[in-house]
Amino acid sequence: MAAYLKLPLSNQQIYVEIKLSHPEATYNTTTAAAAGGDLDIICCVDVSGSMSGSPIKNVCEVLRDIYERTQKDYRLFTYNTQTDVKRTLKTLSERNDNLQASGGTSFACIFTAIKDYLMQNASAKKAITFIFMTDGQDNEPNGSALQKSVQMLKLMLSAMTNSPPITFHVIGFGEVNDAFLNKIRTFGTRQGLFRYSTESKELQNNFNDMFEYALHVRQFTIKFPNGKTYTANNIDNETVGFLANDDDDLSAMAELTLIDDKTTTTQFPLAPMKDIRAIHLLHALNLIQPENEEQVKSIQTYLNNIQITNSKNFAERLEAEQIYKEIDQRMMEYRQLFTQLKMTQVPERVKLQLSALRHDPIFANTQRKKKLDLRVYKNVDYFKKTNISGILQGYKDSITSDTWQKIREQKEIWVDTYSNEDIYEIMRKSPDNILCLGIFVQRDEEVINNPAKGLKLLKVTNTIISYDSFINGMNLARNNQQVQGQFTTLNDHYSIAGALADEQINAVIPLYINDEHMKRIRILEGIWLGYLYTLDSCGYDKQQEVALLKLFYEIIQQRTNTQRQKEIIIELEKVCRFIIDESQGFKTAEQFGEKTYEKLLKRLPIVSSQEYDLSIPLMIGYLRNDLTSVLVPIYYEYIRQEYLRKYPKNSATVKTIIENLVYGCDVKHLSATFSTNNSSTLTNNNLPDYIEKSFIDYFHDELSEPIQLTQENIIKENRKWMIHEEIELDYIKGLLLPLPDFIRTMLNLCQIDEDYIEKHLDYDTLRYELLITFYYLIYSDTNSGGLLNLPKKENILSVIDGRLQSEKERAVAHD
C-alpha cells in the first residue's frame, strides 16, 4: 500500500510512503547477499604527509575494527603522489604498525587506479562502492594530469550505466575543497554521500557511517503513471518514503510502480493517507533539505505543532521522539550555517559543513556519536523487541469493575493540571499515560555517566501533571527557545509553567496513587527515568535508579509541612520502595546499588572513581524502615570520606594520628638491655624486674652472671614503642566530626534524637574505623587487592605496629 500527504510548507511538497509487503526475512537475505558476494567495497585513503599522527592512526584503527566485525577482505587503496592497490583490510589488520603518511597529494594517480580497476573487473557484474577519503587538495589542482584522469574515469563510468551500480561516498577532513569533493561523490552511476569533520577522532565515526550505510542500503526507483520517476533509499526494509513535487496531481493516480535494486517490479495501490500520525509527519520533515533560513524557520514552526504523543503504540512514540530531536537539532545547525553564509567571505569550512549536513538524515539511524547515543541505540532496540504496548493494554483490560470504582474514588485528589483530566479519566483514556509530580532540576553534562552527581533539584512544586502533557509541553518550550536563536543542551533551563505563578517544571517523577497505576510505572520505568536524567526517553541507564534515591532525599529536604506535600511524599516513597525492593536495575547497578549498600553495612572499603553519595544508603535504610541500623555505618563512612578529602597521601600529620591511635599520645618505649656474654645480642623484655631477676639468679647460682648495664648511644625515635591497648577517649573524640546536615534532616523527619549516633558509638570500633581510614586508605597507599584482606579489629593494632616498627632501625649502639 502507498499513501501520500501534503506538507503545509512554503514549497508545498508531497510525502509518499510505501509499506513494503515483502516479509522482512526476504530483505535480510538480500542485505546479507549484498554485504557478501554481491557488493565490493573499496577504501581509498589519503596517506599524504598531512595525515601523519592521529589522523592516520584513527583511520587504521577503524578499518581494523571493520574487518574484525565483517570478516570481509575489502580492498584498500592508499595514495599520496603514488597509489598502492595491493593492500586489503585483512593485511592491514594483520600488521602491527599503521600506514605511513608522507609526501604530497595527487588525485590523478588514485583516479587512474580506480579507472584501471573498473576496467579489469567490468565482467564481474558486482555493485562497487568506493569510500574516498582525503584531507587536502591536489598539488596541482589546475594541472592537466588531474583533468585528464577525471575525464578518463568519467568516460569509463559512462560506459557502465547498464552494469550494477557504482557509487562514490566521500569523507573530507580538514582543509579540503567543498565543490571538488561534491563533484567526486557524483562520479558514479549512483550518487554518493558526503561526510566532513574537522577533528581526526571523528574520522572513525565517518568511516563506520559509510560502511554501515554501504552494507545495508537499498535503492528503489518509483514510477508514476504520468511517466515521472523518483529514487529513494532504504535501510530498515519496512517502508520507502520520498518527496514528490507539488505539481504531481496524485489524486488522479490510482497506483505506482516500485523497482528495487534487484530490478524486481511491484505495483502498489496509491491513496491519500487517512490515519496521519506524528510519525508520518516526522518522516516527511526528515527528508526536507532547506535552502535558506526562512525555510528552516518554516520547518521549525511546523515541527513545533507536532504532538509526538499522537502515536499508534509506545514503540512508535519512542521512534517519533528520536526523529523529532534529530530534526530539531539539525534545523538549529542549519540556522547557524545559513547565518554564517551571509558573511562577505564565506569560510570553506562552512560550505563543507552545510554539504555534510544535507546528508545527515540518512545516517541518523546508523550513527551514534556520543555515549548517550550508544545507550539510546541499545534501549531503542530493546523497546522495539519488547511488546510494551501489548503489556500495558493487557494490564488495562484486566482491571475489574470494582477496581475501576476504587480508582474513580481518587479522582478528586489526583488531577492533571494541564489537561484537567483526573486519574480515572487518564487511566481509562490511555493504557500508557501516568500521573506525575512536576519538579525543577539542573542537569549537567556529567548526568550521562554520573546521574547522582549530574542532576540537582532546584525546586519541588505541588503541580500534578500527566506524562503526556509534560512531554508535549517540554517540546513546545524547547522549540520556543530555539525560535529565539538559543541552542538547547542538557543544562538549559527551558521549562513549562506549574500550577502556581512562580513554579517551573522541567522534570517529573511518577506517583504511586494505586496498584494499577504502579503497574504502568513499572513497565515504563526505563522511559521516564531516561527522560528525567537525559531529556531522552531512550536514555535509560540503571545507575539512574540509584540516583533517584538521592533525588527523593532532596525532595524530602525541601519539603514543606503542608498536608498536600505529605500526601505527595507518601506516593513518591512507594515508588522508590519498589525500586530498591523489586527492580533488577537497582540490584545489579555497577556502582552504589544493592552491592555497595551491603559493603557499607559490613564496613568494607568502598573503592570507586566516583564518590559514594551517602544520602543514597540513608534513603535505602529509611525506605526499608531500618534507618537506625544504618546511621552509625553511614556516619563512619562520612568520616572516612571527609578525612580522605582533607589529608594528602603519606603526609606526616596522618602518620602522627596513626601513631597516637596505636601507641597513645604519651609514647612509651620498650626497655633494652645488653649482655657481655653475647655482645651481638640485644635483649628486649617487657618485665620491669627482668634485670633484678638476673641478680637474684646470680645470688643463688654463682655460675650465673647478672646482666651488666651499659650506656646506650641511641636516639629516642629509634627505640621500639609499646602498643597502647586502652582507648584514649578524649583523643578519639577529638577526631569525630559534627553531624552532617543530610543525616540531621532524616533524624528530624523520623523524630529521632539528634544524639542517637553519639550514644550508640562503640569507641573500640571507632578506633578500628579510624585506623583503616588513616593507615590503609591514606598513609600506606594500599591497593585494591590489599583492601580485600584487611586485619580484623582484634589484631589491627599489632599488624600496624609491626609495619610501623619495621621502619625503625633494629640496631642499638652501646658503649
**β-strands 239-244, 14-19: how paired?**
antiparallel
Other CB atoms within a 10 A radius of the CB of residue 492 amount to 17
Give the pLDDT confidence score for residue 564 in this predicted structure.
92
Rounded CA-CA distance 379/526 in Å is 9
Taken in order 359, 361, 365, 370, the sign of the CA dihedral is positive
Q: Do 135 and 97 meet the contact criterion of CB atoms below 8 Å apart?
A: no
How does pLDDT run across 598-628, given as a tens digit for each residue?
989 988 888 776 788 999 999 999 999 999 9
Closest CA relative to residue 492, chosen from 535, 536, 448:
535
Q: Do 568 and 511 meet the contact criterion of CB atoms below 8 Å apart?
A: yes
How does pLDDT run across 668-706, given as a tens digit for each residue?
655 555 444 444 444 445 555 666 666 666 666 666 665
Give the pLDDT confidence score for residue 258 in this predicted structure.
93
Rounded CA-CA distance 99/92 in Å is 8
**What's 415's DSSP letter?**
B
Residue 549 phi, psi dihedral angles, 5° rounding? -65, -40
Read off the pTM.
0.64
Answer yes or no: is pLDDT of 360 > 60: yes
Give the pLDDT confidence score for residue 475 in this predicted structure.
81
Terminal Cα-to-Cα distance of the chain (whole angstroms): 109
Q: What DSSP line would sit under 256-270, residue for residue?
A: EEEE-TT--EEEEEE
Angle at 623 between CA 458 and CA 764, to 5 degrees: 100
Give the pLDDT confidence score for residue 536 in this predicted structure.
83
Confidence of residue 455 (pLDDT cuts 50, 70, 90): very high
Give the pLDDT confidence score for residue 1 in this predicted structure.
86
The tally of CA atoms less than 13 A away on the side-chain side of residue 509 is: 29
Q: Do 71 and 123 meet the contact criterion of CB atoms below 8 Å apart?
A: no
Rounded CA-CA distance 515/500 in Å is 29
593: helix, strand or coil: coil
**H-state helical runs in 199-313:** 202-216, 278-285, 293-304
Give the pLDDT confidence score for residue 34 in this predicted structure.
42
E strands present in 408-533: 435-443, 455-466, 496-497, 504-505, 507-510
Give the pLDDT confidence score for residue 611 in this predicted structure.
84
Separation in Å, CA 232 to CA 169, 219, 260, 576? 17, 6, 10, 48
Rounded CA-CA distance 559/631 in Å is 21
Amino acid in position 204: Q
Closest CA relative to residue 184, chosen from 146, 215, 220:
146
| Cα-trace Rg, the chain | 37
**What's 683's DSSP letter?**
E
Q: What is the mean pLDDT of residues 509-519?
A: 97
495: helix, strand or coil: coil
Give the pLDDT confidence score for residue 156 in this predicted structure.
92
Answer yes or no: is pLDDT of 581 > 50: yes
Query: Among all chains, which residue has been given the C-alpha cell 511491484?
Result: 266
Residue 24 burial (10 A CB sphere; 0-12, 13-18, 19+): exposed
CATH no. of 2-273:
3.40.50.410
**What's 699's DSSP letter?**
H
Q: Where are the domains of the chain?
A: 2-273, 275-367, 387-590, 645-805
318 or 763: which leads in pLDDT: 763
Long-range contacts from 528-531, C-beta under 8 angstroms, 24+ separation: 528/434, 528/436, 528/467, 530/379, 531/471, 531/507
State the chain's mean pLDDT as an integer: 84
Q: Which residues have CB under 8 Å from 420's CB, separation 6+?
A: none
Rounded CA-CA distance 185/181 in Å is 7
How does pLDDT run across 55-86, given as a tens digit for each residue?
999 999 999 988 988 888 899 999 999 999 99
